[in-house]
């Protein structure tokens, strides 16, 4: 059998104090219609990256509604995950030549083997991203509904890769994308929905921490100076996040702001072989500068530490080149920390109004905006408040649960 991630139950009623009762009442009504339904999310890793981050909170909150919800993780060797990383990149527009039959056979063979090990005693399967996208093809028995959930900006995919994956995706009963513009125009699926991700405001990563006492003390413990400006980027070690561009931003900012410190904080996941090589390359570049620091889960930097870094920072950067959504943008704004981010993918959904003035396209523009916020603390503070309000109203987990359960209710005809 596939690995099931062991999770408990989190009380969604705690969100009533934060969001009021109307949304929670609506969710409970939908859940009542779905009583006794069995839902299973499937992805490729139990830690690292946005999907695992989402499911870690999503599943326990759905369970609190009386719905049986599980999370299974597929298996694969290094060859498989090297291929699926390339598929992931290709869906975001990177060129990838998939013509070799052996490559296709490895991908499909791993999906077939995982399908044979899948616990199929569910009414709804939600398949996350390209790694397990062919599972449905090898699970023809049963009456379950299948949903493919794409967390990637697939608006301009590599054509060869897309045409390989498309038939397997079209076997699903529905497909979910972060936004409408991510849907490839030739996708023929009976139901296509646009549902952006969300963050759990009550999780360890996003819960309130006293900034002065806890957060500053925690960053002191990592060798940073609480009395000097700090700019960070939190992301997977991935070229789409432009980590080397972030270091270039630091080099420009330090010419204008004395004592500036920068930290790149990330995690390494089991389904991302590229991440290890990139982690080493980023370290090599960062080591050239005394005030550029690299932190990861390898050094014990977990959710609580990320929370503290995001709260203690003066500015958070998310200089993505392509981005499905960018949960870390929502996390930073939720903590009232101003963000300067790449004007790509789902990030502009999160940065509206005055926040949109800090969407950037170049290294120089990013550095300019960072310097401005460091020199204008009152502007930074107002942006933080505006950002928190926008995230609260649009991108917290109960809204995501409502939207996905509504789609499931529609599919199963409850």
Are residues 166 and 99 both part of a single domain?
yes
The pLDDT, as a whole number, for residue 267 is 81
Domain count within the chain: 2
Q: How far apart are the first and last CA of the chain?
A: 29
Residue 176 β-bridge partners: 149, 193
Give the pLDDT score at 414: 60
Which pLDDT does position 98 carry in this prediction?
63
Range of the domain at 82: 3-198+396-412
pLDDT tens sequence across 222-259: 999 989 999 999 998 999 999 999 999 999 999 999 99
Helix (H, G, I), strand (E, B) or coil at 323: coil
- C-alpha–C-alpha distance, residues 107 and 84, integer Å: 8
Quick one: pLDDT at residue 1? 85
- Cα 238 from Cα 109, distance rounded (Å): 27
Element (H, E) at 112: helix 101-117
Give the predicted TM-score (pTM) of the model.
Answer: 0.95
Question: What CATH number corresponds to the domain at position 256?
Answer: 3.40.50.2000
On whether both 348 and 304 belong to a single domain, the answer is: yes
pLDDT at 105: 93
Asked if residue 205 is part of any domain, the answer here is: no
Question: Within the chain, which residues score under 70 in pLDDT?
Answer: 98-99, 270-271, 414
One domain, residues 180 and 304:
no
CB within 8 Å of 151: residues ≥ 6 apart: 50, 51, 128, 129, 178, 197, 324, 325
Give the pLDDT confidence score for residue 210 in this predicted structure: 86
CA distances for 243 relative to 334, 347, 371, 412, angstroms: 23, 17, 18, 43
> Do residue 405 and residue 342 come from a single domain?
no
Is position 113 within any domain?
yes
Q: Is 289 domain-assigned?
A: yes
pLDDT for 274: 79
């Amino acid at each position: 059998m596939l690995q099931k991630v062991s999770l408990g139950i989190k009380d969604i009623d705690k969100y009533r104090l934060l969001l009021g009762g109307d949304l929670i009442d609506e969710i409970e009504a939908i859940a009542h219609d779905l009583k006794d339904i069995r839902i299973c999310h499937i992805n490729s890793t139990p830690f690292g990256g946005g999907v695992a981050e989402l499911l870690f909170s999503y599943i326990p909150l759905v369970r609190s509604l009386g719905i049986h919800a599980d999370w299974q993780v597929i298996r694969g060797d290094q060859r498989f995950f090297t291929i699926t990383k390339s598929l992931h990149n290709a869906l975001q527009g990177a060129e990838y030549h998939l013509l070799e039959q052996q490559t296709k056979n490895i991908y499909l063979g791993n999906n077939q083997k995982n399908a044979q090990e899948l616990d199929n005693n569910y009414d709804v399967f939600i398949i996350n991203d390209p790694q397990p996208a062919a599972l449905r093809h090898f699970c023809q028995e049963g009456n379950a509904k299948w949903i493919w959930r794409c967390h990637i900006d697939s608006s301009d995919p590599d054509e060869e890769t897309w045409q390989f994956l498309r038939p397997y995706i079209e076997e699903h009963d529905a497909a979910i994308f972060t936004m409408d513009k991510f849907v490839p125009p030739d996708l023929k699926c009976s139901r296509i929905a646009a549902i952006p991700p969300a963050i759990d405001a009550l999780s360890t990563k996003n819960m309130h921490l006293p900034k002065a006492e806890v957060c500053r003390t925690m960053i002191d413990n990592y060798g940073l100076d609480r009395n000097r400006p700090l700019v960070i980027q939190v992301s997977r070690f991935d070229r789409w996040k432009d980590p080397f561009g972030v270091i270039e931003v630091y080099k420009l900012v330090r010419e204008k702001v004395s004592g500036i410190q920068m930290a790149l904080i990330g995690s390494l996941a089991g389904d991302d072989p590229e991440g290890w090589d990139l982690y080493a390359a980023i370290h090599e570049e960062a080591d050239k500068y005394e005030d550029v620091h690299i932190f990861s889960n390898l050094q014990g930097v977990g959710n609580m530490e990320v929370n503290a870094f995001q709260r203690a920072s003066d500015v958070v950067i998310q200089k993505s080149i392509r981005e499905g959504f960018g949960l870390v943008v929502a996390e930073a704004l939720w903590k009232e920390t101003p963000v300067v981010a790449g004007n790509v993918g789902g990030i502009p959904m999160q940065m509206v109004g005055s926040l949109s003035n800090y969407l950037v396209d170049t290294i120089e523009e990013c550095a300019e905006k960072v310097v401005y916020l460091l020199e204008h603390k009152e502007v930074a503070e107002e942006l933080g408040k505006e950002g928190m309000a926008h995230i609260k109203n649009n991108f917290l987990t109960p809204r995501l649960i409502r939207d996905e359960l509504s789609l499931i209710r529609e599919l199963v005809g409850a």
